[in-house]
């Protein structure tokens, strides 16, 4: 079968032939890949040769945002049947730490975890995959059009879950389930993560201000506005005046991966506010900040600044629940986050796509059997 692989020797991405995987243990299931989302991580793998092949092989099959259809299940698999749509999580535990032993490899303490398509384990840009049922989450048929967004949505779910749990733990009378109601939130970066965060925050009753550096009339601000959020063009505002301009901001979710902006935005955070960074910047350019002023603010305003990465199956399930709610509330608006679908053979073109109107690009491997 075909697979899009990063070759060790050349550090180049190519379409190669690999053996089709088979179920080897009774707790495994086999999926036919339908769609794979492309994100910044994939693009870095292509550009910088980032990514680690499984031990003993000369290539890494890339791709970590997937949607598949179950074609076969092992004897012990009771919660999935042939024909079900499902997604697989990305990270596989180290087998040593308490987090991994409780299926929470997203909080792995040893760093010895692997990640499908990224670190030491083949990914999903291929025709079939096999994995254990504990890493699979069912996608209802009504979400088949957007199921490929489950992985980025799971990242958002984890960030928000952590933020509200922490706020509930430290602010008198605050409760995790209701803390976001009426809160002013700022989402920086309106790529897939940012727009999905806007959706999750609006579903929880928050006010959402989305910041990006694209034209008012382009696709991202348009989707944000139709969801009910407000757009702010980062090129037209001075980040140092955001606090005066926006008033009390209770929650910031950063999804730009731009270090300088990430630090500048701390200034916009309000009293008792919480700031979650999810972007992963690269490079070694120093960031210039007025340290004393920033530290003063963080201390005097009881602020919490944290990072969040990856997600557990619980967050994938929450992602699916929220996508169902989003569909009920906004109809097919969620589908518009997927701006391009290309056949997998056009992977090079897909990896190159990035303009202000490209949000999520998806590679098509096969059609759901319902639509065949
Ligand atoms: Zn990704
Ligand atoms: Zn671990």
Per residue in 55-92, pLDDT (tens digit) is 999 999 999 999 999 999 999 999 999 999 999 999 99
Cα atoms in the 13 Å half-sphere on the side-chain side of 138: 11
| Residues around the ion ligand 1 (C-beta < 5 A) | 39, 41
CATH number belonging to domain 2-139: 3.90.180.10
Residues 191, 325: Cα–Cα separation, whole Å: 20
Ligand positioned closest to the Cα atom of 42: 1
- 153-307 topology per CATH: Rossmann fold (3.40.50)
The closest ligand to the CA of 93 turns out to be 2
| pLDDT tens by residue, 190-245 | 999 999 999 999 999 999 999 999 999 999 999 999 999 999 999 999 988 999 99
Global pTM reads 0.96
Counting ligands in written order, the one closest to the CA of 154 is: 1
Query: Higher model confidence: residue 47 or residue 225?
Result: 225
Query: How far is ligand 1, taken at its centre, from the CA of residue 177, in Å?
Result: 27
Q: Going by C-beta distance under 8 Å and a sequence separation of 6 or more, which residues neighbour residue 352?
A: none
Q: Region 254-275: what's the mean pLDDT?
A: 96
Q: How far is the CA of 313 from the centre of ligand 2 (A)?
A: 15
**CATH 3.90.180.10 placement within the chain:** 2-139
Within the chain, how many helices (H) and strands (E) appear?
A: 10, 19
How many whole angstroms from 248 Cα to the centroid of ligand 1?
Answer: 31
What is the Å distance from ligand 2's center to 203 Cα? Answer: 32
Residue 283, pLDDT score? 87
The ligand with the least distance to the CA atom of 64 is 1
Residue 371 has what pLDDT? Answer: 57
Relative to the alpha carbon of 155, which ligand is closest?
Answer: 1
In the chain, which segments carry CATH 3.40.50.720?
153-307
């Amino acid at each position: 079968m075909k697979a899009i692989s990063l070759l060790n020797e050349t550090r180049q991405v190519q379409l190669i032939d690999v053996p089709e995987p088979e179920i080897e243990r009774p707790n495994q299931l086999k999926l036919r890949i339908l769609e794979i989302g492309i994100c910044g991580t994939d693009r870095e793998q292509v550009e910088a040769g980032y990514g680690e092949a499984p031990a003993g092989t000369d290539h890494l099959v890339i791709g970590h945002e997937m949607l598949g259809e179950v074609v076969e299940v092992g004897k012990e698999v009771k919660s999935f049947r042939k024909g079900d749509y499902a997604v697989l999580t990305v990270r596989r535990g180290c087998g040593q730490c308490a987090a991994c032993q409780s299926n929470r490899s997203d909080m792995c303490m040893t760093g010895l975890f692997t990640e499908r398509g990224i670190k030491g384990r083949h990914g999903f840009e291929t025709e079939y995959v096999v994995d254990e049922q504990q890493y699979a989450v069912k996608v209802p048929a009504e979400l088949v059009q957007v199921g490929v967004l489950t992985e980025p949505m799971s990242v958002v779910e984890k960030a928000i879950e952590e933020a509200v749990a922490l706020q509930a733990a430290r602010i008198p009378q605050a409760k995790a389930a209701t803390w976001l109601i009426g809160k002013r939130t700022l989402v920086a970066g309106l790529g897939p993560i940012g727009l999905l965060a806007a959706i999750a925050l609006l579903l929880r009753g928050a006010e959402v201000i989305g910041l990006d550096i694209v034209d008012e009339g382009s696709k991202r601000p348009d989707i944000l506005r139709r969801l009910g959020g407000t757009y702010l063009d980062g090129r037209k505002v001075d980040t140092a005046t955001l606090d005066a301009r926006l008033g009390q901001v209770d929650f910031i979710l950063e999804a730009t991966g731009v270090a300088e902006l990430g630090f500048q935005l701390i200034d916009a955070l309000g009293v008792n506010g919480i700031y979650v960074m999810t972007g992963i910047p690269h490079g070694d350019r120093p960031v210039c900040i007025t340290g004393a002023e920033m530290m003063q603010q963080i201390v005097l305003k009881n602020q919490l600044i944290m990072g969040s990465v990856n997600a557990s199956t619980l967050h994938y399930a929450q992602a699916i629940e929220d996508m169902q709610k989003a569909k009920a509330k906004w109809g097919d608006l969620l589908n518009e986050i997927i701006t391009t679908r290309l056949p997998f053979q056009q992977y090079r073109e897909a990896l190159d796509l990035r303009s202000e109107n490209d949000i999520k690009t998806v590679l098509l491997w096969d059609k759901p059997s319902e639509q065949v």
